[in-house]
Structure 1
Amino acid sequence: MSAAVIFDMDGLLLDSEDFWQQAEFEMFSSLGVPLQPEDTAQTLGWRCDYVVQHWYAKFAWQGPTPAEVGDAIIDNVIQLIIQQGKLMPGAREALELSKNLGLPTALATSSNHRMMLATLEHFDLLHYFQATCSAEFLPLAKPHPQVYLNAAAALGIEPQQCVALEDSVTGVIAAKAARMRCIAIPEHANFDDSRYGIADLKLPSLLQLTGAELLR
């Protein structure tokens, strides 16, 4: 039986994946990296510095350093979230459900710590979480499980007693590697991706999440 809930952020609670793809495409195109918009889907769910290093290794550019490029992308995404951002359907309801069940709740994200806090404050979500963990300063981000292990430790709950909610394959791999039960809520276009088969449950949206599934 689950004793705690750990949420991902981008693509699960926050409808932000298009913002990441837009900011990355604009930045890399300005540096002469020959991308098509759909190429940014290759790195869905990756930490920003992983994305920058991935494209820098293929198309080393002149001018700004990879770290400067990463900071600029994050700044752009934060502005897009504040100006146009929306929560995913059922996001606030899922957080309320966890709260009403009395389950300790944490956030485990690959996103930059500054962006994580800006998002939670903008949407008034911070009060739902007893712990918030960003993988920004970890040696490895998702699909490595460390950010999930840190979130469980911050709650004082064994990983095996936690249920993780994720939207990306990268995140599902991280949660399962942390030995957590995982509920996947993939983007509609990726719903039939066979790689989600390692999740314990797959739902079309957070609106279908029930207390019974959180507690199971």
Structure 2
Amino acid sequence: MTLDTLLFDFDGLICDTENAARESWQQTYREFGLELPAGLWARMRGRHDGELLAADDLGERLGRAMTAQELDHRRALKSELAHAQPLLPGVAELLGEADGRGLGIALVSSAASSWVESHLRRLGVREHFRAVVTGDLPLPNKPAPDLYLHALGELGVRADTAVAFEDSVPGVTAAVAASLRCVAVPGAAAAAAAADPSAFAGAAAVVPTLESLSLDSLERLFDDEFRSTAA
């Protein structure tokens, strides 16, 4: 395989905004004397409608819908916590190496463009991405493959020359459905899912952080996969 394109998720992969989101909901639940159910968080991760799932669950427990003020308070808390988060380990190095080799780099996220773009600029990595595809587009969101297919179209590349990086099960599902080789990088927020061997069954590889990867190691990984498939 000639590797010419890298496709990155954002939340939980480039920056640990996933833990910021989880903590914001934990604090919100605790304000009402409740605990965020672990199973609910596992269902929320990587989904564009995660807020709706949590708001509906909390509303059922309270016996009333969350107010607009309560939802705004939760969002502000998430934003405050997220803006304190740095790049995750290995991100800067892998982006720099890919740029140095002239690879195409795109970001594919279920989040809103305003959220993703502001954090990419804050973290100083926006210039690495030739395309930024977000959940604002009128396309089915992850776990559907449409956002990834749109990114491939923007870059003018084929799926078999690209590798996607994802930290959530819906993200891996979307990448695989787009015929991409996918590397799962489950962070601390996905510890429970990562403990289940079947959670990322669709991924070609599962690694603890991007720090353990280089372009050479990626090419070796997928060359080996293609050789074993051909045999």
User: How far, CA to CA, are the matches of 1:187 and 1:132 in structure 2?
Assistant: 22
1:29 shift after superposition: 5.4
Structure 2 unaligned residues grouped into runs of 5+: 223-231
1:93/1:37 CA distance change after superposition, 3 Å? farther
Identity over aligned pairs, percent: 28
- After superposition, residues 130-145 of structure 1 pair within 5 angstroms as 130-145=130-145
Is contact 2:91-2:210 (8 Å) kept? yes
User: How far, CA to CA, are the matches of 1:203 and 1:63 in structure 2?
Assistant: 38
Q: Where does residue 185 of structure 2 map in the other structure?
A: 185
Q: Where does residue 51 of structure 2 map in the other structure?
A: 52
User: How far, CA to CA, are the matches of 1:33 and 1:125 in structure 2?
Assistant: 40
1:96 shift after superposition: 1.0
1:140-168 alpha-carbon deviations (Å, 9 max, x no partner): 32111111112111111123332101111
1:72 shift after superposition: 5.3
User: How far, CA to CA, are the matches of 2:210 and 2:181 in structure 1?
Assistant: 16
1:63/1:9 CA distance change after superposition, 3 Å? closer
User: How far, CA to CA, are the matches of 2:145 and 2:68 in structure 1?
Assistant: 28
Q: Where does residue 229 of structure 2 map in the other structure?
A: none
Is contact 2:25-2:36 (8 Å) kept? no
Q: Where does residue 10 of structure 1 map in the other structure?
A: 11
Alignment RMSD: 2.5
- After superposition, residues 1-150 of structure 1 pair within 5 angstroms as 1=1, 2-27=3-28, 34-36=34-36, 38=38, 39-47=40-48, 50-58=49-57, 59-60=59-60, 61-62=64-65, 64=67, 69=71, 73-82=74-83, 84-150=84-150
Secondary structure at 1:196 match in 2: coil
Question: How many residues matched?
Answer: 210
1:139/1:25 CA distance change after superposition, 3 Å? farther
Q: Where does residue 208 of structure 1 map in the other structure?
A: 212
1:213 shift after superposition: 4.0
Structure 1 unaligned residues grouped into runs of 5+: none
1:78/1:186 CA distance change after superposition, 3 Å? same
User: What's the TM-score, normalizing by structure 1?
Assistant: 0.84
1:199 shift after superposition: 0.7
1:55/1:37 CA distance change after superposition, 3 Å? closer
Is contact 2:139-2:146 (8 Å) kept? no
Is contact 1:144-1:174 (8 Å) kept? yes
Based on CA coordinates, which of the two structures has the bigger radius of gyration? 2
